[in-house]
């Protein structure tokens, strides 16, 4: 029985490795400078096979790029005594600062609900919210509001049909990373699926860092906040004085 079990495990492992991802990125590092206004990211690759292409269900590809996760507080405003104010709030345990999902076909055709739950692929699944206060009604709407806000800001993206697949072997897609990125490691995941089931996946990372003057100011604000505050005040005073002097010169001229 042990020999049979070992052979079965080897067969399953061989089946799992029948299709593997060979991935390429246009860049593995994004530098945030004072003039940074976003970046295009090209993700491309190929499927390595030890056996012929399986017949029947076509191969589908799902690509996700996730920024560092962090807690988030979502507020609900209500009119109280004629004034709009925060009436309720829910703290979401962890939400990606940036999350993009690109697929090779409509979402319902590339991934089943079961595998979405298992691999946490879709935008709602990528957000972890364990619980909400008992006095808050309709708690899921707070998560929906967070998704809506970040989608409008370009931080959450669902790009159905944005992955181009050729001969069930080559694939590529392009993602637009906005200017308001958070520093850190961005996880890139590639899923190959058939009939909505993940057959293999590949993971890599992209490093997003501030550089130059942006890096220096960021480090100064964290390590020496007093010096940073005084420097900011001095710059503001100098700018105000310079604008006033220029205005006087224009009036005299």
> Which sequence spans correspond to the domains of the chain?
15-210, 211-253
- Regarding pTM above 0.85, the answer is no
Rounded CA gap, 87 and 78, in Å? 6
Coil/strand/helix, residue 83: strand
Provide the CATH topology of domain 15-210: Immunoglobulin-like (2.60.40)
Four-CA torsion 52, 106, 144, 176, nearest 10 degrees: 80
Q: Is 72 exposed, middle or buried (0-12, 13-18, 19+ CB in 10 A)?
A: buried
pLDDT of residue 222: 62
Q: Would you give per-residue pLDDT tens digits along the chain (253 residues)?
A: 444 444 444 344 444 457 888 888 877 777 766 666 778 889 999 998 888 887 778 999 999 999 999 998 888 777 676 666 666 778 888 999 999 999 999 999 999 999 999 999 999 999 987 765 656 667 778 889 999 999 999 999 999 999 999 988 999 999 988 888 888 899 999 999 999 999 999 999 988 876 555 555 556 566 667 666 766 677 777 777 777 767 777 777 6
């Amino acid at each position: 029985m042990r020999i049979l079990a070992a052979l079965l495990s080897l067969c399953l492992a061989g089946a799992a490795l029948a299709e593997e991802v060979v991935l390429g990125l246009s860049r593995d590092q994004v530098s945030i400078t004072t003039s940074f206004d976003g970046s295009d990211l090209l993700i491309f690759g190929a499927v390595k096979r030890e056996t012929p292409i399986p017949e029947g269900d076509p191969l589908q590809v799902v690509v996700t790029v996730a920024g560092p996760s962090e807690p988030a507080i979502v507020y609900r405003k209500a009119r109280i005594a004629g004034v709009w104010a925060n009436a309720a709030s829910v703290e979401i345990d962890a939400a990606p600062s940036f999350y993009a999902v690109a697929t090779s076909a409509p979402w319902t055709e590339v991934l089943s609900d079961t595998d979405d739950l298992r691999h946490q692929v879709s935008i709602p699944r990528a957000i972890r919210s364990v619980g909400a206060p008992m006095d808050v009604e309709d708690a899921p709407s707070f998560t929906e509001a967070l998704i809506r806000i970040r989608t409008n800001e370009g931080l959450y993206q669902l790009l159905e049909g944005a992955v181009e697949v050729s001969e069930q072997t080559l694939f590529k897609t392009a993602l637009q990373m906005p200017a308001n990125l958070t520093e850190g490691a961005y996880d890139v995941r590639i899923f190959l699926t058939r009939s909505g089931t993940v057959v293999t996946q590949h993971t890599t990372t992209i490093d997003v860092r501030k550089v130059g003057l942006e890096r220096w100011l960021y480090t100064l604000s964290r390590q020496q906040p007093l010096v940073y505050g005084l420097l900011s005040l001095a710059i503001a005073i100098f700018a105000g004085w310079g604008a006033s002097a220029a205005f006087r010169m224009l009036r005299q001229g």
